[in-house]
């Protein structure tokens, strides 16, 4: 094999380096502030190699969204050894802790792209919409479980409530980043879990 020949494994490795670097750069800097050169520098690969693996910066952003979805710990919503509302709270507690420990500098990549790029890239807008739809569906499923378990009012519109909770969370992250404070996160938990999703009181003990 010639010294200059690139093996398939080498190509895959460089794509992985670029994809991971793009994810981190987009999350930390935003889409518009991240240039292809920033991604290749962070990946420690030649700038020209970027287009061997991604046809455009937008395509690497779509891959970044897929990687971000894997960090949201959706499995916390489906663990069957805890009540539904407890699982939902654990999911957002994980995200809130990540936000606080990250210094309030990154926010949600899906929301960031939605605010920054969706008006200018139909492909990214569709990916953002799909990401939010998937997330809201996961929340809705947990709320339905809570209703079936008798922990939540059956009159509650779970679809609309799931969308509201997700929208409230995205707004919480924006205010928390502006304030550099956990106060908006604390307010989210008080309002959503202590008021909106307050468990129904236990019924009378059977005679």
Rounded Cα gap, residues 55 and 25, in angstroms:
18
Report DSSP state, residue 178: H
Distance CA 116, CA 32 (A): 8
- pLDDT tens digits, one per residue of 131-189: 999 999 999 999 999 999 999 999 999 999 999 999 999 999 999 999 999 999 999 99
Q: Number of structural domains, the chain?
A: 2
Nearest Cα to 42, choosing from 51, 32, 29, 53? Answer: 29
- C-alpha to C-alpha distance for 104 and 180, rounded to whole angstroms: 6
Assess whether 82 and 42 both reside in one domain. no
- Residue 63: Cβ within 10 Å count: 19
Q: How many C-beta atoms lie closer than 10 Å to residue 88's C-beta?
A: 25
The per-residue pLDDT for range 49-101, each reduced to its tens digit, is 999 999 999 999 999 999 999 999 999 998 778 999 999 999 999 999 988 88
The answer for 43, left when phi > 0, alpha when psi is -120 to 50, beta otherwise, is alpha
The reply to whether 138 falls in a domain is: yes
Do 53 and 76 lie in one domain? The reply is: no
Give domain status of residue 120, yes or no.
Answer: yes
Angle at 85 between CA 79 and CA 90, to 5 degrees: 60
Any domain includes 205: no
């Amino acid at each position: 094999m010639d010294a200059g020949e690139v093996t398939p494994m080498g190509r895959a490795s460089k794509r992985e380096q670029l994809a991971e670097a793009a994810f981190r750069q987009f999350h930390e800097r935003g889409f518009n502030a991240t240039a292809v050169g920033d991604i290749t520098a962070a990946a420690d690969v030649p700038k020209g190699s970027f287009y061997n693996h991604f046809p455009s910066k937008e395509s690497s952003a779509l891959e970044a969204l897929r990687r971000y979805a894997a960090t949201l710990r959706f499995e916390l919503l489906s663990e069957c050894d805890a009540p539904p509302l407890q699982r939902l709270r654990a999911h957002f507690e994980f995200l809130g802790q990540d936000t606080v420990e990250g210094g309030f500098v990154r926010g949600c990549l899906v929301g960031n792209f939605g605010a920054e790029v969706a008006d200018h890239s139909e492909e990214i807008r569709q990916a953002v919409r799909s990401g939010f739809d998937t997330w809201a569906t996961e929340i809705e499923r947990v709320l339905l479980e809570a209703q079936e378990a008798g922990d939540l009012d059956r009159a509650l519109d779970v679809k609309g409530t799931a969308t509201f909770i997700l929208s409230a969370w995205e707004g919480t992250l924006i205010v928390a980043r502006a304030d550099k404070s956990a106060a908006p996160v604390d307010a989210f938990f008080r309002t959503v879990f202590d008021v909106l999703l307050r468990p129904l009181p236990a019924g009378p003990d059977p005679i």
